[in-house]
Amino acid sequence: MLVRALVNGEWREADVWPGSSLLYMLREHLSLPGSKNACEQGECGSCSVWMDGELVCSCLVLAAQAEGRDIRTVESLSDGEELHPVQEAFAEAGAVQCGFCTPGLVVAVVDLLERDPDPSEATVREALSGNLCRCTGYQKILDAVRLASERMRGGLI
């Protein structure tokens, strides 16, 4: 079946198997593999994208549900060499190891900081509790969120 969606600001079409998830459509049809396939059950957050501005697990969304919707993926956050402050902070704070969870976490943190530019630690932990990371023990992810939050609020540049 043919699905048409606004993906990272551009109308894209994909001819998908009706059972395909949005994640599969992004990764295999639209050459956007930044969203990751770690659990495909909505438990790990690695496939997080925005659909009409709402954070969703793209593995739990049918490709067909994306018809006519505005989809934004991790690939939308950096323009060539120019990184989003959250991406910079993750790389700098040591919040990346194997990196498989990283795109989903970056998306989740960008979403959080757009809603709450200066979140408390408890707020950060709650907001990211749907993102599994197996490498870091999360401490440097918390550091990265603090660093990004400070920079985005103009604290440290």
Partner 1 sequence: MTIRTDRLLKRGVGESVQRIDGIPKTQGKFQYGSDLWAEGMLWGHTLRSPHPHARIKDIDITAARSSPGVHALLLAEDVPGKKTYGLEFSDQPVLASDLVRYAGEPVAVVAAEHPELARQAAAKIEVEYEELTPVTDMLQALQPDTPQLHPWGNVLRHVRILHGDPDAEAEVWVDGYYETGMQDQAPLGPESGLAVPSEDGGVDLYVSTQWLHVDREQIAPCLGLPEKKVRIYLAGVGGAFGAREDVHMQIHACMLALETGRPVKMMYGREESFFGHVHRHPSRIWMRHGATREGKLVNVRVRMVIDGGAYSSSSAAVIGNASTFAAGPYEVANALIEGTCVYTNNPPCGAMRGFGAVQACFAYEAQMDKLAKELGLHPLEIRRRNALRSGSILPTGQVIRGTAPVRELLERLEDIPMPDEPAESRDPITFPGGAGNVGRGEGLKRGVGYAVGYKNIAYSEGFDDASEARVTMFRGSGGPVVEVHSAAAEVGQGVHTIMAQIARTELGVQDVVLHPSDTNVGSAGSSSASRQTMMSGGAVQLACQAVREQLLDRVRARAAATNSAIHGELSLSDGRITLDGVPIADVDEFLDDSITETRAYHHRETTPIDERGQGEPHVSFAFAAQRAVVEVDEDLGLVRVVDVASAQDVGKALNPQSVHGQVEGGTAQGLGLALMEEIQLREGVIKNASFTDYLIPTILDMPPVTSELVEEPEPGVPFGAKGVGEPSTIVSTAAVAAALRDATGRELNRVPVTPDDLVGLRPPAQAGPPPPAPDVPFPEPVPKHAGIAAGQTELGGHEGSDTYQGGKG
Give the interface with partner 1 as residue ranges (CB under 8 A). Answer: 17, 19, 27-28, 31-41, 43-44, 46, 73-75, 77-78, 83, 86-88, 90-92, 94, 96-103, 106, 122, 124-126, 128-142
Residue 47 vs 66, nearer CB to partner 1: 47
H-run or E-run covering 143: helix 139-152
Q: How many CB atoms lie within 10 A of CB 114?
A: 11
C-beta of 92: minimal distance to partner 1 in Å?
A: 6
Residue 43 vs 70, nearer CB to partner 1: 43
C-beta of 108: minimal distance to partner 1 in Å?
A: 10
DSSP state of 26: I
DSSP state of 30: S
Residue 13 vs 68, nearer CB to partner 1: 13
Q: Which of 121, 98, 115 is nearest to 46 (CA)?
A: 98
* Alpha-carbon span 103 to 75, nearest angstrom: 9
Residue 66 vs 141, nearer CB to partner 1: 141
